[in-house]
C-alpha cells in the first residue's frame, strides 16, 4: 500500500432509536500499524467496526479503507477482512474446508486457491490442525482460524472486534503473537478492553467514550504525555503532617498515601504538567528542614490503564 492512511474516518455518526452510538468520530489509522481501539462497554467500538466492515450504515459522516469509500461496493469489501467478536464456524467442517468455503464467496478472479489456503493456515499456526474438524479446536485456535478467514482474501485492513476477550492466557498470547507477526504486512484495527494487551502490541491507540473520541495518538506518545505528572516519594521519619505539607507545595494537585512501613511512608504525588522537578526539590528541602530522610523521589511513568481511567473518568481530553 502506498497510501498514508489505511483507514480514514470523518464525522462518523450513528444513531439508533433512542441511542447515539457514535457522535462525530474522526480518526486516521496509519497503514501497516496495529491500532488499538479502546473504550468502556457501550462506547461505540463495535458499532465503528461494523460500519467500517460494511455491516451497518452510518447516519452521517464518511469513511474509507485503503483510499476506497465504504459505499464503493465490491471494490471496498475486497480491502477488508473482518473478525466478529464471537466467530462461528460450521463444526462439521475442517479448518481447511472452512477457508475453502469462505474463499468461494469471493469473485472467481479474487478467489484463493488451495496453495493460498495452505499458506494462510500455516501463517496462523494451524497447519497441523488444518484437517481436523473445527469442533475440536480450542478457543485460541478458533480465534486464529477467524483471523485466517479474514486474511484469505488478501485484504489491506483487518478489523478485529474484541479478538482476545473470551480467551484464556494461552489463547490470548497466541492471538497477540499472531497480530505482532502481521505488523507491516496488513493494518490491524482492533477493539478491546484489555489494556495491558494494547500496551504490549499496539503502535497507535484511540480511546472512545460515549460514542465520542477522547484521544488518539501513538501509544508511546500518549504514555509519555503523562510521564511527568506523578511522583513516587518515600520519606523516613515522616509524620501525619508531612502529607499536608507536601499538598501545600505550589504545583501539587493531590497527595495519596501509598504505603506505611515502620518509619517509612510512601506517597503518590500528582503534580501539574511541567512542575515535577520544582516539586521534587521542594519536597527534598522540606524533609531536610524537618529532620526527615527522602529515600525515593522520582517521576512515575503511568501505564495505559492509568491513562485510560484518567482520560475517561476525569475528562482530561485535550488533544
47, 227 Cβ separation under 8 angstroms: no
How far, CA to CA in Å, does 27 sit from each of 11, 17, 97, 131, 215? 9, 25, 37, 41, 10
Last residue of a domain, one of 204, 223, 242: 223
Q: Are residues 169 and 231 in the same domain?
A: no
Dihedral of the alpha carbons of 81, 4, 199, 210, in degrees to the nearest 10: -70
Last residue of a domain, one of 178, 201, 223: 223
Q: What was the pLDDT predicted at 318?
A: 42
Q: Are residues 139 and 241 in the same domain?
A: no
Does residue 317 belong to any structural domain of this protein? no
Q: Are residues 74 and 216 in the same domain?
A: yes
Does residue 90 belong to any structural domain of this protein? yes
Q: Are residues 184 and 286 in the same domain?
A: no
Q: What was the pLDDT predicted at 227?
A: 56
Q: Are residues 198 and 56 in the same domain?
A: yes
Residue 317 has pLDDT above 50, yes or no: no
> Mapping DSSP to helix (H, G, I), strand (E, B) and coil, where does residue 51 land?
helix
Q: What was the pLDDT predicted at 228?
A: 56
Does residue 309 belong to any structural domain of this protein? no
C-alpha 266/C-alpha 84 separation (Å) is 45
Query: Which cell is 296 given?
Result: 525515593
pLDDT in tens, 65-79: 988 998 877 778 889
The answer for residues whose C-beta is within 8 angstroms of residue 81's C-beta and 6 or more apart is 149, 150, 151, 152, 153, 155, 157, 158, 159, 186
> Mapping DSSP to helix (H, G, I), strand (E, B) and coil, where does residue 283 land?
helix
Q: Are residues 46 and 109 in the same domain?
A: yes
Residue 139 has pLDDT above 80, yes or no: yes
pLDDT in tens, 244-279: 999 999 999 889 887 777 678 888 888 887 788 899
Q: Are residues 63 and 100 in the same domain?
A: yes
246, 267 Cβ separation under 8 angstroms: yes
pLDDT in tens, 5-61: 899 999 999 998 888 899 999 999 999 999 999 888 888 999 999 999 989 999 999
- pLDDT confidence bin for 2, thresholds 50/70/90: very low
- Of the candidates 47, 163, 145, which has an alpha carbon nearest to the alpha carbon of residue 90? 145
Does residue 16 belong to any structural domain of this protein? yes
Q: Residue 264's domain is classified under what CATH number? A: 3.30.2130.10
pLDDT in tens, 92-128: 999 999 999 999 988 876 788 999 999 999 999 999 9
Q: Are residues 155 and 263 in the same domain?
A: no
- Local structure of residue 303 (DSSP, 8 states): P
Dump the DSSP string for 25-49.
EEEEEETT-EEEEE-STTSSHHHHH
C-alpha 87/C-alpha 84 separation (Å) is 5
- pLDDT confidence bin for 319, thresholds 50/70/90: very low
Last residue of a domain, one of 223, 250, 275: 223
Q: Are residues 245 and 127 in the same domain?
A: no
Q: Are residues 242 and 180 in the same domain?
A: no
- This prediction has a pTM of 0.76
C-alpha 267/C-alpha 231 separation (Å) is 8
C-alpha 221/C-alpha 30 separation (Å) is 15
Q: Are residues 137 and 213 in the same domain?
A: yes
110, 142 Cβ separation under 8 angstroms: no
- pLDDT confidence bin for 222, thresholds 50/70/90: confident
Does residue 253 belong to any structural domain of this protein? yes
Does residue 261 belong to any structural domain of this protein? yes
Query: Which cell is 4 given?
Result: 498514508
CB 298: neighbour CB atoms within 10 A? 11
Q: What was the pLDDT predicted at 97?
A: 96
Q: What was the pLDDT predicted at 189?
A: 96
What total of structural domains would you count in the chain? Answer: 2
Residue 182 has pLDDT above 80, yes or no: yes
- Local structure of residue 72 (DSSP, 8 states): S
Backbone φ and ψ for 147, nearest 5 degrees, come out as -70, -35
Q: Residue 108's domain is classified under what CATH number? A: 3.40.50.300
Q: What percent of the chain has pLDDT over 70?
A: 91
Average pLDDT of the chain, as a whole number: 86
- 292 lies in which domain range? 227-300
> Mapping DSSP to helix (H, G, I), strand (E, B) and coil, where does residue 319 land?
coil
Q: What was the pLDDT predicted at 262?
A: 65
C-alpha 147/C-alpha 163 separation (Å) is 9
pLDDT, greater one: 235 or 312: 235
Q: Are residues 218 and 232 in the same domain?
A: no
CB 266: neighbour CB atoms within 10 A? 17
CB 247: neighbour CB atoms within 10 A? 13
Residue 81 has pLDDT above 80, yes or no: yes
Does residue 318 belong to any structural domain of this protein? no
C-alpha 301/C-alpha 292 separation (Å) is 26
Does residue 316 belong to any structural domain of this protein? no
199, 38 Cβ separation under 8 angstroms: no
Amino acid at each position: 500500500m502506498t497510501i498514508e492512511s489505511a483507514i480514514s474516518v470523518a464525522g462518523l455518526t450513528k444513531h439508533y432509536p433512542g441511542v447515539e452510538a457514535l457522535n462525530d468520530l474522526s480518526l486516521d489509522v496509519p497503514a501497516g500499524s496495529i491500532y488499538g481501539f479502546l473504550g468502556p462497554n457501550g462506547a461505540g467500538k463495535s458499532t465503528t467496526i461494523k460500519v467500517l466492515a460494511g455491516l451497518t450504515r452510518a447516519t452521517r459522516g464518511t469513511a474509507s479503507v485503503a483510499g476506497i469509500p465504504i459505499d464503493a461496493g465490491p471494490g471496498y469489501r475486497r480491502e477488508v477482512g473482518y473478525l466478529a467478536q464471537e466467530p462461528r464456524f460450521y463444526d462439521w467442517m475442517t479448518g481447511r474446508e472452512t477457508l475453502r468455503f469462505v474463499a468461494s464467496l469471493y469473485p472467481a478472479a479474487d478467489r484463493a486457491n488451495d496453495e493460498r489456503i495452505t499458506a494462510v493456515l500455516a501463517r496462523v499456526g494451524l497447519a497441523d490442525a488444518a484437517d481436523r474438524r473445527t469442533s475440536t479446536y480450542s478457543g485460541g485456535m478458533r480465534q486464529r482460524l477467524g483471523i485466517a478467514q479474514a486474511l484469505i482474501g488478501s485484504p489491506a485492513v483487518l478489523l478485529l472486534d474484541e479478538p482476545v476477550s473470551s480467551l484464556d492466557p494461552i489463547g490470548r498470547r497466541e492471538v497477540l503473537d499472531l497480530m505482532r507477526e502481521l505488523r507491516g504486512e496488513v493494518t490491524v484495527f482492533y477493539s478491546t478492553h484489555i489494556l495491558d494487551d494494547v500496551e504490549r502490541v499496539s503502535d497507535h491507540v484511540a480511546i472512545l467514550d460515549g460514542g465520542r473520541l477522547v484521544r488518539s495518538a501513538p501509544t508511546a506518545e500518549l504514555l509519555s504525555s503523562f510521564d511527568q505528572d506523578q511522583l513516587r516519594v518515600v520519606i523516613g521519619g515522616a509524620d501525619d503532617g508531612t502529607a499536608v505539607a507536601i499538598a501545600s507545595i505550589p504545583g501539587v494537585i493531590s497527595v495519596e498515601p501509598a504505603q506505611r512501613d515502620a518509619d517509612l511512608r510512601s506517597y503518590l504525588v500528582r503534580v501539574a504538567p511541567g512542575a515535577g522537578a520544582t516539586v521534587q526539590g521542594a519536597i527534598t528541602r522540606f524533609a531536610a528542614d524537618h529532620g526527615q530522610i527522602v529515600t525515593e523521589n522520582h517521576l512515575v511513568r503511568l501505564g495505559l490503564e492509568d491513562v485510560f481511567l484518567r482520560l475517561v473518568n476525569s475528562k482530561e481530553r485535550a488533544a
